Amino acid sequence: MNIAPPTLPSSPLPSSPLSSIPLLAVRNLCAEFRTRSGTVSALENISFYINPSETVGIVGESGSGKSVLALTIMGILDPAGHVTAGEILWSQSAATLNLLNTPEKVFRQLRGKDLSMIFQSPRTALNPIRKVGKQIVDVLRCHTQLPPAQLKPRAIELLASVKIPDPAQRYEAYPYELSGGLCQRIMIALALACSPQLLIADEPTTGLDVTTQATVMNLLKDLATDRQMATVVITHDLALASEYCDRILVMHAGHLIESAPTAELFQSPQHPYTAKLIAATPEPHKGFNDLAPILGNLPDLRRSDLPPCRFVSRCDQATDPCHNQPLVNTQVTETHQVSCWHPLGGPQL
Amino acid sequence: MSRTSTPTLIFRRILAALPSIVGVIIITFVLTRALPGDPAAYFAGPAASQEAIEQIRETLGLNRSLLAQFFIYIGELFRGDLGMSLTTGQSVLSDLLARLPASLELTLAGLFFSLVLALPLGVLAATRPGSWIDHSVRLIATAGVSLPTFFTGLLLIYLFYFRLGVAPAPLGRLSLLYTNPPAVTGLFLIDSLLAADFGTFWAALSQLMLPAITLGLFALAPLARVTRAAMLGVLSSDFIRTAKASGLSRRTILFGYAFRNALLPIVTTLGVVFSFLLGANVLVEKVFAWPGIGSYAVSALVASDYAAVQGFVLTMALLYVVLNLLIDLLYAVIDPRAGVES
């Protein structure tokens, strides 16, 4: 194994392989929830970057901190959640903002305009007693200078752009009158109303049937390509991420454990967890018995004595340093990072 | 799925209310006959002979079988005749019609006062759960509901009439210096405004103030608590998160999105509180010498004045049906899903 020498215990600054400045750079982000039964360490030392117009998948099982990460970036984390360290740098038109200390007044103007988000269960994510068209108009009125008379035509245009049949008629519909797939298209139209540069899609296909899933994802992909928009797809479905994403970040129990271009990740996963995730992912040629479940559960994140590596109790290769030494980040290749004392190595190395 | 048209909705509601009205008619009839006390004896007076009592019993039809009495009662009901009150000597219908507006005006004013306080307080408490505002709202609401209305009423009279002298004497709807405004709606505030008689308006308003506040304080607790709970529930829902992620302003989120959704449980509670107040404001009516139907019903009950009691209960039942109809219609205005056939 000729792995690059372990770097400093704290995670290295994310470096974009491209010479351009990343659109979004998250550095050493830590967040916790203070609950009655203890403090939950929801995110620890998360660092990554998103380049303009690339599609990045964030993958991990439920409770790994994917959604918390997304909500933190959007600045709409529940009041019980607190960011305790780190920075979120947003670079736009030659200026860089740290979103964590951006005044709410300024941040609010970015939200829904420059960075947008869509959610799972689209039917509940829309206001149940407001016409869907009006909800798009609300966003347009908030972020654009369009004269009032053009708001409705523009909203209908947006509905048409997400391939909704009869957009003028659908403008007058309420969410309960539409199918889940249509609601998710409306969510997409709403999120893209002001042509954002980054779209975070949090489990965009959960709750939709399989064929609708594919159409929604293809629509997202096409729209992102057309508009040169960066997209973050948050999912627990590794197969879905591999199909649509240029790069994949793998999260486990509030840690970002591996990031790599999609092909590289699948060819030579470095983190034992990633390897196990891939082995547990159904594929057409795999039978039920070929799927290897990952034993154990996520550790209780309220514990005060969490081991440095939160996968240690589920890992086959754990040794002493995994239990008591600070986690190391290893740069496997220029674009491939892993947080593990014992990366797996693999065909490319 | 299709949205039901409003006339269909109204028609269906009225149809659905018919069985309950029939039930109310039967039950009140049976109950008033089962009341202790002999109306004939009461009507004849303490000095009447047995013969006189029997004679009265016969004129009132009380010597017939219950079933016969019931059919006579139903027949009279269809002719719009609620019978004669034994205590006032007037027809029950005219008694109720004269007194209902007073009760309605008092209840509406009390409800208005309580809404004006409860909605902002509930919203404030919900946007800052656990803060001092939240705790004070809870304190005010609990105090309002735990103080009996007759006590609050007497306290207000003591403070504002007796000690401070800013309120008029608690003697009914209008002080003797003024004449009733020409009756249009029966509500003095509205009638005096219609007649452009501002002096009477102010006089009626100042008479109404203390009893309305007394009633309103009582209704404050359920309304403020429901507003708080509904707002808290809505504010943590998915579509509010979407609205936040869309960068909508705090005011749009709070009032355009959250409050309208929270209105549904608030309106439900409003209906319950309203019908409750309408019947239960008898204590306030007694304390403030308010000529409403609550005090009328209580004196009728004490006097075994069965026709008046029956008339009162029937009126309340009809009011209740109308109220529920209004609330259903309000639902349909607020929530497009309300009119959907499942």
Chain B touched by A125 (CB under 8 Å): yes
For residue B55, give both structure tokens.
Answer: 């004679």
Angstrom distance (rounded) from CA B258 to CA B233 = 9
Contact A191, A112 (CB under 8 A): yes
- What pLDDT shows up at residue A13? 46
% residues pLDDT > 90 (chain B): 18
pLDDT surpasses 60 at A340? yes
Average pLDDT (B266-282) is 83
Residues of B in contact with A130 (CB under 8 A): 257, 260
Count of CB atoms situated within 10 Å of the CB of A28 = 16
Nearest CB among A117, A124, A126 relative to B245 is that of A117
Chain B touched by A232 (CB under 8 Å): no
Chain A touched by B337 (CB under 8 Å): yes
- pLDDT confidence tier of residue A8, bands split at 50, 70 and 90: very low
- What pLDDT shows up at residue B235? 92
Q: What is the pLDDT of residues B139-149, one digit of tens each?
A: 888 888 888 88
Which positions ≥6 away from A224 have C-beta within 8 Å?
A53, A55, A199, A230, A231
- Looking at per-residue confidence, does A157 or A13 come out higher? A157
- What pLDDT shows up at residue A71? 93
* Angle in degrees, CA B32, B35, B40, rounded to 5: 85
- What pLDDT shows up at residue A348? 45
Angstrom distance (rounded) from CA A237 to CA B4 = 42
Residues of A in contact with B257 (CB under 8 A): 127, 130
Average pLDDT (B154-163) is 89
Q: What is the mean pLDDT of chain A?
A: 87
Chain B touched by A133 (CB under 8 Å): no
Residues of B in contact with A124 (CB under 8 A): 237-239
Query: Which amino acid is residue A31, in one-letter code?
Result: A
Q: Which of B105, B84, B101, B102 is nearest to B93 (CA)?
A: B84
- Looking at per-residue confidence, does A337 or B174 come out higher? A337
Q: What is the pLDDT of residues A291-334, one digit of tens each?
A: 888 888 888 888 878 888 888 888 888 888 888 888 888 888 88
Where helices occur in chain B by DSSP H, the ranges are 6-34, 39-44, 50-60, 66-78, 92-127, 132-146, 149-156, 188-194, 198-235, 238-245, 250-251, 260-280, 282-287, 293-302, 306-334
pLDDT surpasses 90 at A133? yes
Q: Which of A189, A192, A213, A48 is nearest to A120 (CA)?
A: A213
pLDDT surpasses 80 at B341? no
Q: What is the mean pLDDT of chain B?
A: 84
CATH fold, domain A1-103+240-342, is Rossmann fold (3.40.50)
pLDDT surpasses 80 at A62? yes
Q: What is the pLDDT of residues A28-60, one digit of tens each?
A: 999 999 888 888 889 999 999 999 999 999 999
- What pLDDT shows up at residue B3? 57
Angstrom distance (rounded) from CA B107 to CA B115 = 12
- Domain spans of chain A? 1-103+240-342
Pairing of strands A230-235, A55-59: parallel
Count of CB pairs separated by less than 8 Å, A with B: 78
Q: What is the pLDDT of residues A246-263, one digit of tens each?
A: 999 999 999 999 999 999
Angstrom distance (rounded) from CA B115 to CA B108 = 10
Which positions ≥6 away from B318 have C-beta within 8 Å?
B21
Test B337 with A129 for CB contact under 8 angstroms. Answer: yes
- Looking at per-residue confidence, does B304 or B267 come out higher? B267
Burial B249-260 (b: 16+ CB within 10 A, else e): eeebbbebbbbe
Grouping H, G, I as helix, E, B as strand and the rest as coil, residue A24 is strand
Name which of A138, A141, A198 to mutate to probe chain B: the one with the most chain B Cβ atoms within 10 A of its Cβ: A138
% residues pLDDT > 70 (chain B): 97
- pLDDT confidence tier of residue A10, bands split at 50, 70 and 90: very low
Q: Which of A68, A53, A43, A44 is nearest to A22 (CA)?
A: A53
- What pLDDT shows up at residue B240? 94
pLDDT surpasses 80 at A104? yes
Of A76-90, A172-186, B181-195, B202-216, give the lowest mean pLDDT range.
Answer: B181-195
Chain A touched by B3 (CB under 8 Å): no
- Looking at per-residue confidence, does A202 or B317 come out higher? A202
Tell me the nearest-neighbour CA distance from B320 into chain A, angstroms.
Answer: 27
- Looking at per-residue confidence, does B200 or A158 come out higher? A158
- What pLDDT shows up at residue A4? 47
Average pLDDT (A195-217) is 89
- What pLDDT shows up at residue A161? 92
Pairing of strands A198-202, A247-252: unpaired
Tell me the nearest-neighbour CA distance from A73 into chain B, angstroms.
Answer: 10
- Between positions 139 and 158 of A, the ones with CB within 8 A of B are 139, 142-143
Sorted by where each starts, the structural domains of chain B and their CATH numbers stand as 1-87+303-342 (no CATH), 103-291 (1.10.3720.10)
Q: What is the ipTM of this complex?
A: 0.85
Name which of B232, B238, B257, B340 to mutate to probe chain A: the one with the most chain A Cβ atoms within 10 A of its Cβ: B238
Nearest CB among A119, A129, A191 relative to B238 is that of A119
Residues of B in contact with A129 (CB under 8 A): 260-261, 334-337
- What pLDDT shows up at residue A11? 43
